[in-house]
Chain A
């Protein structure tokens, strides 16, 4: 059973607010990922990390930032939320080895008014 957690599950916030989406995993995985998904669309990778103090931008340009100070924690921050940021944000982690799957958290549904 994968143990990866995201909070909050749902967030409705006004334009201009700073928000942080939390993601934690208890599996000791080095690799962690953030995806953004809109209804009926594919998941788009926005950030990933190979380990502590390692972060990279994904294929989809995003105004968000991430940090990886601890192995288990990979928070995503939006400094100034806008309606265009409304989406579902999914966090995932992956263990060692090429042929292991990514485990996903339950996601955060963000609505920016």
Chain B
């Protein structure tokens, strides 16, 4: 049973436009969410995170929105650049659990077309 779902395996966007990557979760105990970016043959790199006490967090071109009632979060990249082409993973954790284990989605491959 997948607790973190990224239902779009891939997404293509024109350079300069907005990229929106979506993520749904089923476990209501999750209270901290993270987005990672991964290039082939490399480890994931942290992008941005959001706590469940917020509904929005912004860092430069990256904004994450959280809708707790819908158990849905999204990552917006504006404007998209060719260097943003990578696989994006959504991850979630329960901070009170102590282990800080992350549960990942399967990822969305973003292609930004010049």
- Residues of chain A touching chain B, judged by Cβ–Cβ distance below 8 Å, are 4, 6, 9, 31, 33, 40-45, 48, 50, 56, 58-59, 90-92, 94, 98-99, 101-107, 109
- CB-based contact A45/B101 at 8 Å: yes
* B-chain residues with CB within 8 Å of residue A56 when the two chains form the complex: 99
Could you say which of A41, A48, A106 contacts B101, with CB atoms under 8 Å apart? A48
Contact with A along B81-114 (1 / 0, CB 8 A): 0000000010000011001111111110000000
- CB-based contact A90/B104 at 8 Å: no
In the complex, what's the smallest C-beta–C-beta distance from A47 to chain B, in angstroms?
11
- CB-based contact A104/B45 at 8 Å: yes
* A-chain residues with CB within 8 Å of residue B41 when the two chains form the complex: 9, 106-107, 109
The 5 closest A-B pairs by CB, nearest first: A104-B43, A98-B95, A101-B46, A42-B104, A43-B104
* B-chain residues with CB within 8 Å of residue A41 when the two chains form the complex: 106
Residue with the greatest number of chain B CB neighbours at <10 A, chosen from A41, A92, A101, A109:
A101
Q: Is the CB of B4 closer than 8 A to any CB of chain A?
A: yes
